[in-house]
Amino acid sequence: MRTFITGIAGFVGQHLAAHLTAEGEEVAGLALAAGRRPEAGPAGVRVHEGDVCHGERVRALLKEVRPDRIIHLAARSSVADSLRDPWGTFAVNAGGTVSLLEAAAAAAPAARILVIGSAEAYGEVREEELPLTERRPLEPLTPYGISKAAAEQVALFYRRARGLHVVVARAFNHTGPGQEPTFVCSDFARQIARIDAGRERAGLRVGDLTARRDFLDVRDVVRAYVLLLEKGDAGEVYNVCSGKAWSIGEILEILRGYAGRPIAVEADPARGRSEDVPTLVGSFAKLEAATGWRPGIPLERTLKDLLDSWRAVLEKDQRR
Ligand code: A2R
């Protein structure tokens, strides 16, 4: 079985490549030429450089790799960035999905394909609508959410009109070792590791702590993605979530509990987000019914592993 992963050098891409190679699968992928860590990935993984929006390049790569499965992770993944550069986010997230699926229709029409949507596409939801099921209409509030809602529609179009075997994963928040510190859990963990190591004297800077999110461990997420490729129905959308909401403040307290010293907290208005959605929590009943998947790793362990991974990064830096 050969799997082609777009966005393979990103956070989820690296975990996914590691998961698949550990299962003995053949893995190839696409990373931005100018992107970070284009060489990343476990041994035996073939990483090709290119932009997912360049249809000809993607088509040529699919012809060369001849994948049985494609997982489309390449994206501008930050809500905050999407507010600064809505067009860039839309071009990559929606346009890149068109580009990939056009290429797949021409060069890998029999491949099973998973397109990654986002819970940000649900928009502002009322308490009584929680936990969200896939039937809840999408009313995105941010350029990122809009771009992901569009990517889903693109995926469903290629199923309907071109007969591709496309499944959509609607991913809620996820975190774990290797996540960029532009995301809140990783930001807090990195700051705590730096304060603990005496590299930072100021307190831990935080934005809005009230938003409530449904967090999964990235290792549970990649397991869900592979199961969806194997068992998901084409043309269907599946929430990938834990079913539990954690406030950002609760996450902060768990991480502070792992610190080696008391950690002062300072409010940083620059870390707040004006267009934020107050609460997102989903139901994974449809995913479980289709695949048997359930979340396996408790958030406390995920956060501990994340903090330990930042500690290891700092130690490595210090030894240089
Ligand atoms: O922006 P970079 O240099 O970090 O590269 C990102 C890459 N990427 C692209 N690849 C090919 N062509 C493009 N035009 C393009 N633009 C961005 O996609 C990065 O290596 C990867 C996405 O990885 P992360 O930003 O680490 O996101 P993560 O957490 O792995 O999320 C995977 C998927 C995304 O579709 C998210 O929107 C969704 O799950 O939550």
Q: Please write the tens of the pLDDT for every residue from 188-246.
A: 999 999 999 888 888 999 999 999 999 999 999 999 999 999 999 999 999 999 999 99
| Residue 79 · residue 142 · CB < 8 Å | yes
Residues counted in the chain: 320
Instruction: Tell me the mean pLDDT in the region 101-114.
Output: 98
Put simply, whether the predicted model's pTM sits higher than 0.85 gets the answer yes
Q: Please write the tens of the pLDDT for every residue from 132-181.
A: 999 999 999 999 999 999 999 999 999 999 999 999 999 999 999 999 99
Q: What is the mean pLDDT of the chain?
A: 93
Q: Of the residues 6, 73, 179, which should be mutated to test ligand 1's pocket, given the most ligand atoms within 8 Å of the CB?
A: 73
Phi, psi of 35 (to 5 degrees): -80, 170
Q: Strand pairing partners for 175? A: 217
- Does the bond joining 262 to the residue before it have cis omega, within 30 degrees of 0? no
Question: Which pair of tokens denotes residue 263?
Answer: 């950690």
**Does pLDDT of 44 surpass 80?**
no
Amino acid making up residue 269: P
Taking the C-alpha atoms of residue 314 and residue 305, their distance in angstroms, rounded to an integer, is 14
Amino acid making up residue 11: F
**Which DSSP category does 296 fall into?**
-
| Residue 60 · residue 80 · CB < 8 Å | no
**Which DSSP category does 273 fall into?**
-
Residue with CA nearest ligand 1 atom 3: 35
Measured from the Cα of 74, ligand 1's closest atom is 18
Using the mean position of ligand 1's atoms as its centre, give its distance from the Cα of residue 237 in Å: 20
